[in-house]
Structure 1
Amino acid sequence: MSDPLADSPGSWPVVSSTDLHRDGWVVALRRDLINPPGQEQGQDGAEPFGRLVVEHPGAAMALAIDVRDGVEQVCLIRQYRHPGGGTFVEIPAGICDVPGEDPVETAKRELREEVSLEASEWQHLITTYPSVGISSEVHHVYVARGLREVETGYVAEHEEAHLEVFWAPFDDLLAAVRDGRIREGPVAIATLAYAVIQSRS
């Protein structure tokens, strides 16, 4: 018997698939017509139904932690996000846009490019689907420790050119997530997951 507390992979039969948007970037939008398993079109009155799918290669994030003056501090950024209509507190993150690349390597690259840090210790924290009802996007979150500043020569563009890097005590970050001052999904999930692990260690 399969584990009732585990997700199970698999796809219902796709009758047809139509691209609504696809270009040279990493995200596409398509419309699929699907049937439940074992129900052919017209069987018992069943008709295929449509679902929109945002294709996304996934993203990797780094919860970068350094102990300063005896307190765990987290490296955070503030970045404008047009779809969300505001500037959000986030952790360093980036799209897994290199085919075949291990997500932890993506997280390492983004930590260097966004906040000019490298870490000697990497630990997988959690993997989630942020919006499984419409997107194939997967988030891979890692804890990064043993931090040091590096020169990268990376030239940021667009919103990234205006992001602000800052540090905050982990306990303050947790409080901000719990009381709703910070609402961006990945930073909230990473913070809560890390808090659970720390409470059980």
Structure 2
Amino acid sequence: MIHPWPRIASKQVFDAGLFSVTRDRARSPRTGAERDVYVVHMVDWLMTVPLTAHGELVLVRQYRHGSRAISLEIPGGLHDNAGERPEEGAARELAEETGYGGGVLTLLGELRPQPALLSNRVRIYLAQGVRRTAAPRPDAGEDIEVVLLDPREMPARIASGEMNNAMTVTALALARFGGHL
């Protein structure tokens, strides 16, 4: 049986504001061997699969500096507003990035984006019946283009590499498994 590794010591070794890194000393309960493990800490993420009343996905096309590529994604962002409930943050990110809102918001799932390295979670919501309510209000560091997409086009967009964000593909799969796409 697998058991969690006890943490013997922990020290923050880097702080970039957006995220920090700790070096944990951990011990294997099976062998007793100790090793250093690095963990990246950041706030949780929120992502939304928005569908219009006509069944179109509301996506964002944006530049991602980490991959140095343009990606077609679902709207999302950091859950970094103190006192804000996750569903409020998801609705806020949707409105800021796309100008869409309204509709019914449902939690599809809560996942760990990369549990080997990251300590945070991502909450994925479905927003059904959204409509354009305002102009998008992206952050100063974002260049975003809103794209409406027929869900039947998803496989081709994924295969072409245009839709290359793993969390977006996972969120769309959750929506599809739930019978929403």
**TM (normalized to structure 1)?**
0.79
**Aligned pairs, number:** 181
Letter in 1 for 2:23: R
Question: CA offset at residue 11 of structure 1?
Answer: 5.1
**Using the alignment, how far apart are the partners of 2:138 and 2:71 within structure 1?**
21
Q: Which residue of 2 aligns with 1:106?
A: 89
After superposition, the C-alpha distances for 1:66-93 in whole angstroms (9 at most, x for unaligned) are: 133xxx2100111111111211111110
**Using the alignment, how far apart are the partners of 2:79 and 2:72 within structure 1?**
21
- Segments ≥4 residues shifted beyond 3 Å: 151-155, 178-181
Quote the RMSD (CA, aligned, Å). 2.6
Secondary structure of the residue aligned to 1:101 is: coil
After superposition, the C-alpha distances for 1:13-50 in whole angstroms (9 at most, x for unaligned) are: 22211212125x3411111101134x7xxxx7x34211
Q: Which residue of 2 aligns with 1:16?
A: 9
**Using the alignment, how far apart are the partners of 1:121 and 1:67 within structure 2?**
11
1:84 aligns to 2:76 (yes or no): no
Question: CA offset at residue 181 of structure 1?
Answer: 4.2
Q: Which residue of 1 aligns with 2:27?
A: 35
Letter in 2 for 1:114: E
Gaps of 5+ in 1: none
Q: Which residue of 1 aligns with 2:130?
A: 147
Q: Which residue of 1 aligns with 2:51?
A: 65
Question: CA offset at residue 152 of structure 1?
Answer: 6.7
Q: Higher RCO, 1 or 2 (CA under 8 Å, sep at least 6)?
A: 2
Residue identity over aligned pairs, in percent, reads 24
**Using the alignment, how far apart are the partners of 2:160 and 2:50 within structure 1?**
22
Contact 1:63/1:92 (CA < 8 Å) preserved in 2? yes
**Using the alignment, how far apart are the partners of 2:90 and 2:168 within structure 1?**
14
Secondary structure of the residue aligned to 2:90 is: helix
**Using the alignment, how far apart are the partners of 1:99 and 1:78 within structure 2?**
28
Contact 1:75/1:91 (CA < 8 Å) preserved in 2? yes
1:165 aligns to 2:146 (yes or no): yes
Contact 1:174/1:192 (CA < 8 Å) preserved in 2? no
Q: How has the CA–CA distance of structure 1 residues 84 and 181 changed in structure 2, closer, same or farther, with 3 Å as cutoff?
A: same
The structure with more radius of gyration: 1
Contact 1:59/1:103 (CA < 8 Å) preserved in 2? no
Which of 151, 155, 164 aligns to 1:183? It is 164
Q: Which residue of 2 aligns with 1:132?
A: 115
Q: Which residue of 2 aligns with 1:120?
A: 103
Q: How has the CA–CA distance of structure 1 residues 171 and 155 changed in structure 2, closer, same or farther, with 3 Å as cutoff?
A: closer
Gaps of 5+ in 2: none
**Using the alignment, how far apart are the partners of 1:171 and 1:111 within structure 2?**
22
